[in-house]
Amino acid sequence: MGCSQEFYPLFFVECIDEIPSANISLKQVYVNFNQVCNLRASDGHTITKKFTIILLKSQEEDLQKYFLELICLLLEKLPPRPTIASLKSELFKIISLFATPPAFSQEAIKGLWAELFVIAHSHNPIYLINSWHISKEDRYDFNDGIDKVEVKATRNSDRTHTFSIEQLNPNADS
């Protein structure tokens, strides 16, 4: 482990093989495989070996902390000298956590907006918040245990919506 001249955190991982591999270059994460490095320890001793270099190009303290913790966990999972393929596979798992934002459909965003609109314009928003999606299995947007409300939204002049049979036949106490 070390830091660049710009004080970016670096990891040097010695792999058991030297299979040619394309480097990874993202906005803030760089991985360079099979790089000949001259590493100088604090005592002045220098070693020359091939390493895979993992760099986070950020000086944001929290991001550096998370990066260091994740890479340390990754390295603990692997043998002391992993194969390039196994290192790359594990790195892609970490990268995918940060590189791929969750995909939300326009319908889901529209529905969430409508539910928040109902809460914001209600006479008792706290009551609605406490009744809002109280369980993952709930078929209603708002359910206080007695009354249920299902919010539907559209951007079109057509008011075509889909309801489940359970939503149309609530329990006897409703």
Sheet holding 29-40, edge to edge: 2-3, 9-13, 46-56, 29-40, 24-25
91 lies in the same domain as 8: yes
75 lies in the same domain as 120: no
Tokens linked to 43: 């005592």
DSSP 154-168: -SSS-------HHHH
154 lies in the same domain as 73: no
Q: Is residue 173 part of a domain?
A: no
25 lies in the same domain as 80: yes
User: Would you say the C-alpha torsion 84, 89, 93, 98 has a positive or negative sign?
Assistant: positive
User: Is residue 170 pLDDT above 80, yes or no?
Assistant: no
**Residue finishing a domain among 99, 120, 136:** 99
Q: Is residue 121 part of a domain?
A: yes
For 85-138, the pLDDT digits (tens) are: 999 999 988 887 766 566 778 888 888 999 999 999 999 999 999 999 877 777
Query: How many distinct structural domains can be found in the chain?
Result: 2
**Residue finishing a domain among 99, 114, 134:** 99
73 lies in the same domain as 110: no
Are the CB atoms for 56 and 67 separated by under 8 Å? yes
Q: Is residue 174 part of a domain?
A: no
For 50-99, the pLDDT digits (tens) are: 999 999 988 888 988 988 999 999 999 999 999 999 999 999 888 877 66
Residue 66: give the domain boundaries.
2-99
Q: How long, in residues, is the chain?
A: 174
Look at phi and psi of residue 22 and say left if phi exceeds 0, alpha if psi is from -120 to 50, else beta.
beta
CA angle 35, 57, 38 (to 5 degrees): 30
13 lies in the same domain as 95: yes
Helix ranges (DSSP H) in 57-159:
61-77, 84-99, 106-120, 125-131
**Residue finishing a domain among 68, 99, 130:** 99
Predicted structure pTM score: 0.54
For 12-24, the pLDDT digits (tens) are: 999 998 888 889 8
84 lies in the same domain as 7: yes
Q: Is residue 82 part of a domain?
A: yes
